Amino acid sequence: MNPTAAGFLYLLAAVLFIVGLKRLSSPVTAKAGNRLAAIGMLIAIVVTLLDEQIVSYWIVIAGIVVGGAIGALLAQRVEMTSMPQLVAAFNGFGGGASAFVAIAELIRGGADPPIRILVTIALSVLIGSITLSGSMIAFGKLQDLITGRPLVLPGQLVIDVVLAGVAVTAAVRVGATGETVYAWVLFGSAIALGITRTLPIGGADMPVVISFLNSLSGLAAAATGFVIDSNALIIAGALVGASGLILTNIMVKAMNRTLANVLFSAFGGETGGGDGTDHDKVARRASAEDVAITLAYAQRVIVVPGYGLAVAQAQHAARELADLLQERNVEVRYAIHPVAGRMPGHMNVLLAEADVPYDQLYDLEDINPDFAHTDVALIIGANDVVNPLAREADTAISGMPILDADKATTVIVVKRSLSSGFAGIDNPLFYLDNTLMLFADAKQGLTDVVSAIREL
Amino acid sequence: MNPTAAGFLYLLAAVLFIVGLKRLSSPVTAKAGNRLAAIGMLIAIVVTLLDEQIVSYWIVIAGIVVGGAIGALLAQRVEMTSMPQLVAAFNGFGGGASAFVAIAELIRGGADPPIRILVTIALSVLIGSITLSGSMIAFGKLQDLITGRPLVLPGQLVIDVVLAGVAVTAAVRVGATGETVYAWVLFGSAIALGITRTLPIGGADMPVVISFLNSLSGLAAAATGFVIDSNALIIAGALVGASGLILTNIMVKAMNRTLANVLFSAFGGETGGGDGTDHDKVARRASAEDVAITLAYAQRVIVVPGYGLAVAQAQHAARELADLLQERNVEVRYAIHPVAGRMPGHMNVLLAEADVPYDQLYDLEDINPDFAHTDVALIIGANDVVNPLAREADTAISGMPILDADKATTVIVVKRSLSSGFAGIDNPLFYLDNTLMLFADAKQGLTDVVSAIREL
Amino acid sequence: MSELLIPITVFVLAAFVGFEVITKVPPTLHTPLMSGSNAISGISIIGAIVAAGHENGGVAAALGFLAVTLATINVVGGFLVTDRMLRMFKRGDR
Amino acid sequence: MSELLIPITVFVLAAFVGFEVITKVPPTLHTPLMSGSNAISGISIIGAIVAAGHENGGVAAALGFLAVTLATINVVGGFLVTDRMLRMFKRGDR
Ligand SMILES: NC(=O)c1ccc[n+]([C@@H]2O[C@H](COP(=O)([O-])OP(=O)(O)OC[C@H]3O[C@@H](n4cnc5c(N)ncnc54)[C@H](OP(=O)(O)O)[C@@H]3O)[C@@H](O)[C@H]2O)c1
Ligand SMILES: NC(=O)c1ccc[n+]([C@@H]2O[C@H](COP(=O)([O-])OP(=O)(O)OC[C@H]3O[C@@H](n4cnc5c(N)ncnc54)[C@H](OP(=O)(O)O)[C@@H]3O)[C@@H](O)[C@H]2O)c1
ipTM of the complex: 0.87
pLDDT of A54 reads 79
Secondary structure E strands in A196-323: 300-305
Decide which of A363 and A399 is more confident.
Answer: A363
B153 pLDDT tier (thresholds 50, 70, 90): confident
pLDDT of residue A227 exceeding 90, the answer is: no
Chains D and A touching, counted as 3 or more CB pairs less than 8 Å apart: yes
pLDDT of residue D94 exceeding 60, the answer is: no
pLDDT of B45 reads 94
Label residue C71 exposed, middle or buried (CB < 10 Å: 0-12, 13-18, 19+): buried
pLDDT of A270 reads 41
pLDDT digits (tens, 9 = 90+) for A378-389: 999 999 999 999
Per the CB < 8 Å rule, is C91 touching B230? no
pLDDT digits (tens, 9 = 90+) for A408-450: 999 999 999 999 888 888 999 999 999 999 999 999 999 999 9
pLDDT of A268 reads 57
Could you give phi then psi for residue A106, rounded to 5 degrees?
Answer: -65, -45
pLDDT of residue A284 exceeding 50, the answer is: yes
Pairwise CA distance, residues B331 & A60, whole Å:
72
Decide which of D55 and A193 is more confident.
Answer: A193
Could you give phi then psi for residue B334, rounded to 5 degrees?
Answer: -115, 135
Per the CB < 8 Å rule, is C16 touching A18? yes
Ligand nearest to the CA of B268: 2
The dihedral sign for the CA sequence B360, B361, B363, B365: positive
pLDDT of C1 reads 58
The average confidence (pLDDT) of chain B is 89
Per the CB < 8 Å rule, is B11 touching D16? no
**Which residue minimizes the CA distance to atom 42 of ligand 1?**
A421
The pLDDT of B47-76, averaged and rounded, is 90
What stretch of H or E contains A121? Answer: helix A115-142
Least Cα distance to C74 among C34, C26, C41, C46 occurs for: C41
pLDDT of B276 reads 44
pLDDT of B152 reads 87
How close D9 comes to chain A (CA, Å)? 10
How close D33 comes to chain A (CA, Å)? 7
Question: Per the residue annotation, which of B205, B384, B404, B448 is the catalytic one?
Answer: B384
Per the CB < 8 Å rule, is B71 touching C73? yes
* Residue B334 near residue B351, CB atoms below 8 Å: yes
Pocket test for ligand 1, best of A383, A411, A430 (most atoms within 8 A of CB): A383
The pLDDT of A258-284, averaged and rounded, is 66
pLDDT digits (tens, 9 = 90+) for A30-41: 999 999 999 999
The pLDDT of B321-342, averaged and rounded, is 93
Lowest-pLDDT range of A270-284, B191-205, B320-334, B397-411: A270-284
pLDDT of B114 reads 80
Least Cα distance to D81 among A71, A348, A217 occurs for: A71
pLDDT of residue C94 exceeding 60, the answer is: no
Annotate C6-68 with DSSP letters as a single string: HHHHHHHHHHHHHHHHHHTS-GGGHHHHHHHHHHHHGGGHHHHHHHHHT-SSHHHHHHHHHHH
What count of CB pairs under 8 Å joins A to C? 18
* Residue A40 near residue A16, CB atoms below 8 Å: yes
Task: Find chain D residues with C-beta within 8 A of C9's C-beta.
Answer: 10
Cβ of B339 less than 6 Å from ligand 2 = yes
Ligand nearest to the CA of B313: 2
Cβ of B403 less than 6 Å from ligand 2 = no
Per the CB < 8 Å rule, is D12 touching B15? yes
pLDDT digits (tens, 9 = 90+) for A179-222: 889 999 999 999 999 999 999 988 778 889 989 999 988 888 88
Per the CB < 8 Å rule, is B4 touching D1? yes
A7 CB near a chain C CB, below 8 Å?
A: yes
pLDDT of A271 reads 42
What stretch of H or E contains B435? Answer: strand B435-439
Kindly provide the b/e burial profile for residues B196-235, where b requires at least 16 CB atoms within 10 angstroms of the residue's own CB.
Answer: bbbbbbbbbbbbbbbbbbbbbbbbbbbbbbbbeebbbbbb
Cβ of B140 less than 6 Å from ligand 2 = no
Q: How far is the CA of C56 from the centre of ligand 1 (A)?
A: 77
Could you give phi then psi for residue B303, rounded to 5 degrees?
Answer: -95, 130
What stretch of H or E contains A414? Answer: strand A410-415
Share of chain B above pLDDT 90, in %: 62
Least Cα distance to A413 among A387, A389, A391 occurs for: A387
A279 pLDDT tier (thresholds 50, 70, 90): low
pLDDT of residue B270 exceeding 50, the answer is: no
3 state DSSP class of C89: coil
Nearest residue of C to residue D10 by CA position? C10
Decide which of B441 and A79 is more confident.
Answer: B441
pLDDT of D56 reads 65
The pLDDT of A305-316, averaged and rounded, is 93
pLDDT of B333 reads 96
The pLDDT of A44-51, averaged and rounded, is 90
Q: Identify the chains in contact with B, defined as 3+ C-beta pairs within 8 A.
A: C, D
Amino acid in position A349: V
B8 CB near a chain D CB, below 8 Å?
A: yes
pLDDT of residue A166 exceeding 90, the answer is: yes
* B146: Cβ contacts below 8 Å, ≥ 6 apart: B137, B140, B199
pLDDT of residue A276 exceeding 70, the answer is: no
Least Cα distance to A380 among A404, A407, A353, A411 occurs for: A411
Pocket test for ligand 2, best of B414, B422, B427, B449 (most atoms within 8 A of CB): B422
pLDDT of D93 reads 59
pLDDT of residue C35 exceeding 60, the answer is: yes
Cβ of B262 less than 6 Å from ligand 2 = no
pLDDT of A118 reads 87
How close C83 comes to chain A (CA, Å)? 32
Least Cα distance to B192 among B223, B219, B220, B165 occurs for: B165
Annotate B322-339 with DSSP letters as a single string: HHHHHHTT-EEEEEE-TT
Cβ of B306 less than 6 Å from ligand 2 = yes
pLDDT digits (tens, 9 = 90+) for B345-372: 889 999 999 999 988 999 999 999 999 9
The average confidence (pLDDT) of chain D is 89
Pairwise CA distance, residues C34 & B135, whole Å:
14
Give the nearest ligand 1 atom to A251 CA. 3
In B9-38, the residues whose Cβ lies within 8 Å of chain D are 11, 14-15, 18
pLDDT of residue A301 exceeding 50, the answer is: yes
pLDDT of A143 reads 87
- Angle among Cα A301, A302, A306 to the nearest 5 degrees reads 140
B395 pLDDT tier (thresholds 50, 70, 90): confident
Q: How far is the CA of B93 from the centre of ligand 2 (A)?
A: 28
Chains D and B touching, counted as 3 or more CB pairs less than 8 Å apart: yes
B273 pLDDT tier (thresholds 50, 70, 90): very low
pLDDT of residue B274 exceeding 80, the answer is: no
Q: Is A363 a catalytic residue?
A: no
Could you give phi then psi for residue A414, rounded to 5 degrees?
Answer: -105, 105
Q: How far is CA A358 from the centre of its chain?
A: 20
Share of chain A above pLDDT 90, in %: 62
Terminal-residue alpha carbon distance, chain B: 72
Indicate yes or no: pTM above 0.80: yes
pLDDT digits (tens, 9 = 90+) for B225-246: 887 788 999 999 999 999 999 9
pLDDT of residue B342 exceeding 90, the answer is: no
The pLDDT of C1-26, averaged and rounded, is 90
Q: How far is the CA of B383 from the centre of ligand 2 (A)?
A: 6
Pairwise CA distance, residues A322 & B202, whole Å:
59
Pairwise CA distance, residues A252 & A399, whole Å:
12
Q: How far is the CA of B26 from the centre of ligand 1 (A)?
A: 38
pLDDT digits (tens, 9 = 90+) for A93-128: 999 998 998 898 888 776 677 887 888 889 889 999
pLDDT digits (tens, 9 = 90+) for B250-267: 888 888 888 888 888 776
pLDDT of A188 reads 96
Could you give phi then psi for residue A362, rounded to 5 degrees?
Answer: -120, 145
Pairing of strands A435-439, A361-363: unpaired
Pairwise CA distance, residues A369 & B139, whole Å:
51
The average confidence (pLDDT) of chain A is 89
